[in-house]
Amino acid sequence: MKKSITIFTILLLASFNSIFANQSSNLPHVKINVEPYSTLYEGEIIDCNISNANKFFWEIENGNEHTTFYGEDILLFDPEPMPLEKEYVNLTLYAENEDGIACDTIPVKIKRIYFGDIHWHTDISDARYSIDEMYTNAIKDNYLDFVACTDHGELIDLPNIIFGGVRHNDFIKTIVDFLLGRSEWELMREKAKEYYTPGKFSTFLAFEWTSAQWSPGGWDGWEDVGHINFYYRDVYEDVPKFSFYSKLDFDDIFEAMAKEWEKGHLNIAFPHHPQGKIYFNIFGKKLPCSFTINWSYMAEGMESKGARDKILRGGEVYSRWGLAIGQYYTPEIPWLYGYDEDSFYNLTDAWMENAFWEWSENCKQCKFVMIASSDTHNVNRPGSSLGDLGNMGNPSGIVAVYAPHNVREEIWDALNECDAYALQLHKIRAMAKFDGKIAYGKWINCSKPLKIEITALATFPENDSSNKSMRPHGYDNDLNFKITNIWIVKKDREKGRPWCKVIAHFTPNDKIAVVSYEDCDVMSCDFYWVAIKQSNGIDDFMAFLGPIFIYNIRE
């Protein structure tokens, strides 16, 4: 009898094990093919294996379920921000079927995309609104991740000019402030500290050096002057701001800021509105004044090239002034939100295409990336869709950066490393790889043919995974955008400087776009850049990524 019971028990257990084994074999298979503790960029396609599944999704630290995929590979768009206290987070891929769920988890560092407006002004210099109102509104809008007030160095702690004149009683205020030891530059430092919330809202100490045709440095020619913003990595004690009165030209200002770097006051620079022009009315006569940036002089004519290369990181391709690429030298690219006629110099050497040419030929191994911002003066917040007055009626530009956390130093590090791209107002999440590298503004060695991969996610109506709004201030139209066009552009060696040519054009017309291209005609000293356009059927907005410079071709 006991022997019969034992045999029955064994058969029963064998039956259960067989059932469980069959169920286990029917579970999905899932694998993330990435080395643990790798660094991933938002927008990357993460190689994965998924089989026997009818549903799959990915999570960051047990957060939201994300369903952006390219085939069975994770398309890493809009991940949650990494917690400030963590250097790595768990990326988990789940796969389900009717028999159960399987998952794979790896620790990774994620460089998420953050968005900012790092060029705007207050009534400390020549703008309408106070620094407190600008900061407060930026935080209230919940649109931007980081900002920088860039008041003019010439007007900080001096009488403030607005609309061509000096504010009422401002001479008296300046004298009183001087006698009482009050400093507007110190106020800018204090406000950058006050409004900084690590993980939520980052601020920078910055200023604009505003040398131009009419300033002392331009009296003997204005190819070596222009408007340049400088950004400190931290709110350092006792750091200076400079004006065109003391630093007359490119060599002067870059030498001065390179010396600050050597003191431990790390800083970077971005010239802006390179095609800018204004008019002065002198005794009833309308006289033009250049606000341009002569990229050829900056690349070839400067004596202090070492100081330049230590500090300069690129140029502002778009602001309220207008778009400084396309139109003439890359005519296939839409000149969307171009310069107003009265503010447009159209100097050949000032087009961004010319900057790319100059850097590819004369500044080898030096960084140069495109950014965008607003240069707001007469709207009471950064990053707004509302037009400024006069010749600055375009919507704001913003800059996107890839960074592990939204903290001042890491956002600055991203700008310093050129891990950034330019946007017209709206948040297009995008990524471009050249030869498997994310290398905007940098020089790479590549294989031939050169493989180019681009991903993009259009603006969407809901808040993003960090709970930031996707709707900029003043924009009331539909946020259901689609990526309509992607252009890959390169140096046009046949036409010569400053011409560029489109080598590939895609029309995805979808919320998410993934495209690739191989260029068999790649050569040393070539450069490439990417333009992306999105539309909601009413308005169009663009993103600009690059340039990427080719150093050597691997055989």
Instruction: Report how far residue 43's alpha carbon sits from residue 35's, in angstroms, rounded to the nearest whole number.
Output: 18
78-92, 285-299, 411-425: least confidently modelled range: 285-299
Q: What pLDDT sits at residue 160?
A: 64
Structure confidence by residue, pLDDT tens digits, 231-277: 999 999 999 999 999 999 999 999 999 999 999 999 999 999 999 99
Q: What pLDDT sits at residue 15?
A: 43
Between residues 156 and 280, which one has the greater pLDDT?
156
Q: Which helix (H) or strand (E) holds 177?
A: helix 170-180
Using DSSP bridges, classify how beta strands 45-46 and 69-70 pair: parallel, antiparallel or unpaired.
Answer: unpaired
User: Which residue, chain included where needed, has tokens 């070492």?
Assistant: 306
Report the pLDDT averaged over residues 11-30: 57
Using DSSP bridges, classify how beta strands 161-162 and 165-166 pair: parallel, antiparallel or unpaired.
Answer: antiparallel
For residue 123, give both structure tokens. Answer: 């009534």
User: Domain 113-554 - what CATH class?
Assistant: alpha beta
Structure confidence by residue, pLDDT tens digits, 127-166: 889 999 999 999 999 999 999 999 999 999 876 665 455 5
For residue 246, give both structure tokens. Answer: 């003391």
Cβ contact 218:225 at 8 Å: yes
Which residues, in sequence order, are CB contacts of 343 under 8 Å at separation 6+?
276, 277, 278, 321, 322, 391, 392
Instruction: Report how far residue 365's alpha carbon sits from residue 351's, in angstroms, rounded to the nearest whole number.
Output: 21
> Is 80 exceeded by the pLDDT of residue 169?
no
Q: What is the mean pLDDT of the chain?
A: 93
Between residues 151 and 2, which one has the greater pLDDT?
151
Report the alpha-carbon angle 312-315-320, nearest 5. 140
260-274, 280-294, 414-428: least confidently modelled range: 280-294
Structure confidence by residue, pLDDT tens digits, 74-104: 999 999 999 999 999 999 999 999 999 999 9
The secondary structure of residue 301, as a DSSP letter, is I
For residue 389, give both structure tokens. Answer: 């007055």
What is the end-to-end Cα distance of the chain in Å, rounded? 79
Burial class of residue 525, CB neighbours in 10 A (0-12, 13-18, 19+)? middle
Identify the CA nearest to 388 among candidates 291, 317, 469, 474. 474
Q: What pLDDT sits at residue 389?
A: 73
Taking CA atoms, 205 is separated from 186, 209, 300, 452, in Å, by 10, 14, 30, 36
Identify the CA nearest to 119 among candidates 356, 436, 377. 377
Q: What pLDDT sits at residue 284?
A: 80
Q: How far is CA 189 from the centre of its chain?
A: 24
- Supply φ then ψ for residue 464, to 5 degrees: -85, -175
The single-letter code of the amino acid at 103 is: C
Residue-wise DSSP of 77-141 = -SPPPPPTT-S-EEEEEEEEETTEEEEEEEEEEEEEEEEEEEEE--TTTT-SS-HHHHHHHHHHH
Instruction: Report how far residue 267's alpha carbon sits from residue 433's, in angstroms, rounded to the nearest whole number.
Output: 27
Structure confidence by residue, pLDDT tens digits, 496-552: 999 999 999 999 999 999 999 999 999 999 999 999 999 999 999 999 999 999 999
Report the pLDDT averaged over residues 481-490: 99
Q: What pLDDT sits at residue 167?
A: 60
Q: What pLDDT sits at residue 221?
A: 86
Taking CA atoms, 11 is separated from 4, 18, 23, in Å, by 11, 10, 18
Is the entire prediction scored with pTM above 0.75?
A: yes
Instruction: Report how far residue 159's alpha carbon sits from residue 261's, in angstroms, rounded to the nearest whole number.
Output: 29
Which residues, in sequence order, are CB contacts of 104 under 8 Å at separation 6+?
30, 31, 32, 92, 93
Domain ranges of the chain: 27-111, 113-554
Q: What pLDDT sits at residue 288?
A: 85
Instruction: Report how far residue 286's alpha carbon sits from residue 279's, in angstroms, rounded to the nearest whole number.
Output: 6
Instruction: Report how far residue 218's alpha carbon sits from residue 20's, in angstroms, rounded to the nearest whole number.
Output: 83
How much of the chain exceeds pLDDT 70, in percent? Answer: 91
Q: What pLDDT sits at residue 163?
A: 46
User: Domain 27-111 - what CATH class?
Assistant: mainly beta
Instruction: Report how far residue 205's alpha carbon sits from residue 417's, in angstroms, rounded to the nearest whole number.
Output: 18
> Is 50 exceeded by the pLDDT of residue 18?
no
Report the pLDDT averaged over residues 165-187: 69
Report the pLDDT averaged over residues 36-50: 99
User: What residues are paired with 229 via a beta bridge?
Assistant: 208, 270
Report the pLDDT averaged over residues 288-302: 95
Report the pLDDT averaged over residues 105-130: 96
